[in-house]
Amino acid sequence: MLQPALRAAVLRRLGFSAPPAADGEGLTTLYAAWCARVPFDNLRKLTALHGGAAGDLPGMVAEDFFSAWVELGCGATCWPSANALFELLESVGFSCRRITGSMRDCARVNHGSVAVALADGDWLVDSSMLTGYPVPLRPGVYLSPDPVFNHEVEAQGEEFVVWNDFQPVGAFPCRLFPATAAWAEFAQRYEGSREMSPFNSRVYARRSDAGRVSTLSGTTLYVRTAAGVSIREVAGAELPALMQEVFGHAPALLDAWQRSGAAAVNLEAPRSDAPPPPPIQGVPPSRRMQRGS
C-alpha cells in the first residue's frame, strides 16, 4: 500500500487535489491523467543494465517507481508500470487486479497490465498501450471510435485480444489473460527480461496526451494525431532536449542515462544478428468485417 504522503504527491502531480471517486468517471479521469503524464519508457532500465547497477532492476516496488516519477519524470516498462498503476488504483478504492498478456499474441507471457472491476463489468487500463481512456472487456468486439486511440478488442473465450497501434511496427495484437497475477510473478518476469527484451538496448518512450500519441524509438520520433503519423529523425545531440520536452524526463535522469553508456548504445545500428520478432498472426476485427461486407 502506498504511503499517504507519497500517494498525495502522486495525485498532485497527476492534477488531483483529492482522490477521485472509485467509479467509472473517476477511473476515466485518473487513467487519462496517467496516459498524459506518466510515460511508458525504459530509461531507468537502460541505465541500470548498461551502467552495471547492482541489485534488482529499478521500479518494481511501487514506492520506488513513484518516487522516481515525481522527481525525474520517468515511467518504466510494462511490469513495474502496471504494478504501480495497480497500487495507485487500489489505494484510492478501486477493485482491480494485475493481469498478464502476450504481446504479438506469440504464445508466451511477456506483458503485464491492469483490469478494474466496476458495476458494469471489467475495464482495461494499460500502462504501456496508454489508450487514453479505459477499454471495456466484454463479450464480442469493441472498436474504438477515436481516430488517435484506435484500438480494437475481441473476446475469445475467457481471453481478450487487443489490437493497438505501436510505432514503428504498426498495429499488432496483445492477448490478455484475465486471471489475477501476483506481484511476485510480475517481479520475476521483470527480472527475467534482463536476458531478452526489446527494451534492453535502444530508447523507447511513449506518451498519450491532447489528441496525440508520441513515440520515440531509438532516434526516431513518431507522432500520431487524427491527421495521421508524422516521422522525424532526431540527431543524437538533440535527444536529451527532445526527451525532456516531449516526455517530461528530468535532466538528472538524462545525465545518468548518458553516463551509463546507454546513450551511446542508442546511437548504434540495431544488431543484424538479433532474432526477428515472431510474425504477427491474424488481422484486426475491423479488417475482417470489411472483407465480409
280 is a domain residue? no
- Cβ–Cβ under 8 Å, residues 80 and 65: yes
pLDDT the model gives residue 289: 79
Q: What is the pLDDT of residues 265-277, one digit of tens each?
A: 999 977 655 677 7
Which pLDDT does position 291 carry in this prediction?
Answer: 67
Give pLDDT tens digits for 46-93: 999 999 889 999 999 999 999 999 999 999 999 999 999 999 999 999
Residue 210 within a domain:
yes
Dig out the grid coordinates for 57 from the structure.
Answer: 532492476
Q: Which three cell numbers stand for residue 145?
A: 471510435
Print the domain residue range for 111: 4-269
In a domain, 205, yes or no: yes
Measured from the Cβ of residue 156, the count of other Cβ atoms closer than 10 Å reads 10
Domain contains 64 = yes
Give the burial class of 109: count Cβ atoms within 10 A of its Cβ; 0-12 exposed, 13-18 middle, 19 or more buried. Answer: middle
* Nearest residue to 219 via CA among 194, 236, 243: 236
Domain count along the chain: 1
User: Mean pLDDT of all residues in the chain?
Assistant: 95
CATH number, residue 108: 3.30.2140.20
pLDDT at 274 (0 to 100): 64
In a domain, 288, yes or no: no
- Determine, yes or no, domain membership for 68: yes
pTM score: 0.96
Residue 277 belongs to a domain: no
Which residues of the chain fall short of a pLDDT of 50?
Answer: 293
Domain membership of residue 221 (yes or no) is yes
pLDDT at residue number 77: 99
